[in-house]
Amino acid sequence: MNDRPIALVTGLDPRMAYAAKALCSFAEVYSCGLNGSPEGVTPLDSPEELHGSADLILLPMMNNCGNSVPTEFGKLPVKLVTQAAKSGAVAAGGLLTNALLEELDTLGLRAFDYFKNETLQIKNALLTAEGALSVAASQREEALFGMPVLITGWGRVAKACAKVFGSVGAEVSIAARSQTALAEAHCFGCKTLPLCELSEHAEKYSLLINTVPALVVTDEIIRRTQRNCLIVDLASKPGGVDSSACALCGRAFIHALALPGKYAPKTAGEIIAETVKGYFRSAD
């Protein structure tokens, strides 16, 4: 008798195909509308083919998706996708809205937002930092080794960026509001300065990376940067950089969003699968 749980994975996000394959280690996995057909995963034309037998529904990152999932078959309403699930099944997705959480609860499912998992966020921060390194390297004509790099903020992503850029020999400085954050950054081996003093030192840096989800890289700061300074914003929309000022001043600017899915979809998908698997087992 097969006592392995049944899982349905859906979504065009390339991470979902890798997550589906990773879930095969503990579940019987089906897919609907994935970007690719992973080995060991059974593709379906419709979620209804599972006839309400799924123990786990895995949705992609649902920001800007409303209550529909983008798939190769077009947008599938979440309500249609969940017809594959049995009552009490786990429905996991990223950045689930309150409206979607309520809908999943009304449908008798146990909703889980894997993007809120702290372990996943820490691992994603490292993937984001590696993606930022790739972005910077592709946009600059000089080596990152020895380059003066300024990172605003001292959260998970900023710490990961400090580690990754420092590992290739960049001269990393951290600008933050909190004295505690600056002290910790100093212990990490970074140069530091209060965020309120950034405009006075902006001309020193060839690369400026923002991680703060609020406007901190202002018009005044941008005007004082080097003409060839590259400014990369890693913060979620609307970001923390005055992009209009970058255009007016002729500064190269990139709002680099969703880097884990773009630069390391396999690893990012496997992290999602591991997170969801852990939740499923604990909730069982």
Task: Pick the last residue of a domain from 116, 135, 159.
Answer: 116
The answer to whether position 125 is within a domain reads yes
Cβ atoms 221, 163 nearer than 8 A: no
The answer to whether position 273 is within a domain reads no
The answer to whether position 279 is within a domain reads no
The answer to whether position 278 is within a domain reads no
Confidence (pLDDT) at 36:
85
Residue 13 predicted with pLDDT over 60: yes
Output the six-digit token pair for 88: 């009490």
CATH code at 73? 3.40.50.720
pTM, two decimals, is 0.93
Confidence (pLDDT) at 1:
39
Please indicate, yes or no, whether residues 53 and 98 belong to a single structural domain of this protein. Answer: yes
To the nearest 10 degrees (0 to 180), the angle between helices 118-139 and 156-167 is 50
**What value does the mean pLDDT take over residues 262-274?**
97
Please indicate, yes or no, whether residues 127 and 203 belong to a single structural domain of this protein. Answer: yes
- Average pLDDT value for the chain: 96
For 2, residues 6+ apart whose C-beta sits below 8 A from its C-beta are 28
Please indicate, yes or no, whether residues 93 and 188 belong to a single structural domain of this protein. Answer: no
The answer to whether position 277 is within a domain reads no
Please count the CA atoms within 13 angstroms of the CA of 4 that sit on its side-chain side. 11
9 forms bridges with which residues in the sheet? 31, 58
Please indicate, yes or no, whether residues 106 and 162 belong to a single structural domain of this protein. Answer: no
Please indicate, yes or no, whether residues 12 and 51 belong to a single structural domain of this protein. Answer: yes
CA 43/CA 176 separation, integer angstroms: 48
Domain of 213, in residue numbers: 120-261
The answer to whether position 276 is within a domain reads no
CA 227/CA 6 separation, integer angstroms: 56
Residue 4 predicted with pLDDT over 60: yes
Q: For residue 2, what pLDDT band results from cuts at 50, 70 and 90?
A: low
